[in-house]
Amino acid sequence: MMREGKTPDSFTLSNALRASIGGSGLMKVSQVHGLIIKLGFGAHSMLAGSLIDACAKCGSTKSAYQLYKIMIEKDIISCTALIAAFARLGGYTKDAFNLFEDVKLMQMRVDDVILCSILNICANTASLSFGRQIHAFALKSQPSYDVAMGNALIDMYAKSGEVEDATPLLLMR
């Protein structure tokens, strides 16, 4: 509840979005979204990324994707949230791959979350060719990777029937 004379700032609204995730979260996220627009923060990039993340985590990936499409200035936070949601929910393979290509074209720094999410999609759709491309990209952009990346690569190769390619990754652990 807002006190008279006190208007929330973008930081407060971003935290309100994070707190809305869960149970009946989508309704709460919609209410916070309305407040964001009413207060004139609709074009604020940090809030756009937080809103996309909140919608996606509440299961409304279509809304999250629509919000992303209308963003004036795309950022890595919103791209990461959307690609991770696509990976978590499945059924958005083409959209995820297209968004990943957009991230590279916009020359954004691709992080481990995006790479692991894309590798997860490759594993679940047996997209070995694209998975190998992602592996090569990961090696070029991040010559050493962590356990999560190693696990994502092993999972992708194993689910694509290329257990021999996953074996050296197991030995690197």
Task: Look at residue 2 in the predicted model and tell me its pLDDT.
Answer: 52
Cα–Cα distance measured from residue 33 to residue 165, given in angstroms and rounded to the nearest whole number? 46
- Per the model's pLDDT, the better-predicted residue between 166 and 152 turns out to be 152
pLDDT of 1 higher than 50? no
The pLDDT mean for the chain works out to 83
Residue where the block lists tokens 């499409």: 69
Q: Provide the pLDDT for residue 122.
A: 94
Average pLDDT over residues 120-131: 92
Confidence of residue 169 (pLDDT cuts 50, 70, 90): low
User: Mind listing the pLDDT tens digit for each residue in 42-96?
Assistant: 777 778 888 888 888 888 888 889 988 988 888 888 899 899 989 988 888 999 9
Task: Give the residue-averaged pLDDT of 92-107.
Answer: 92
Res. 98: pLDDT tops 90: yes
- pLDDT at res. 115: 93
Q: Give 20-45 pLDDT, tens digit per residue.
A: 776 667 888 888 888 888 888 777 77
**pLDDT reported for residue 119:** 94
pLDDT reading at 162 higher than 90:
no
Which one is predicted more confidently, 120 or 77? 120
Three-state DSSP class for residue 90: coil
Other beta carbons within 10 angstroms of residue 158's beta carbon come to: 16
Cβ atoms within 10 Å, residue 91: 9
Between CA 54 and CA 167 the distance in angstroms is 37
Asked whether the CA dihedral 142, 139, 125, 166 is positive or negative, the reply is: negative
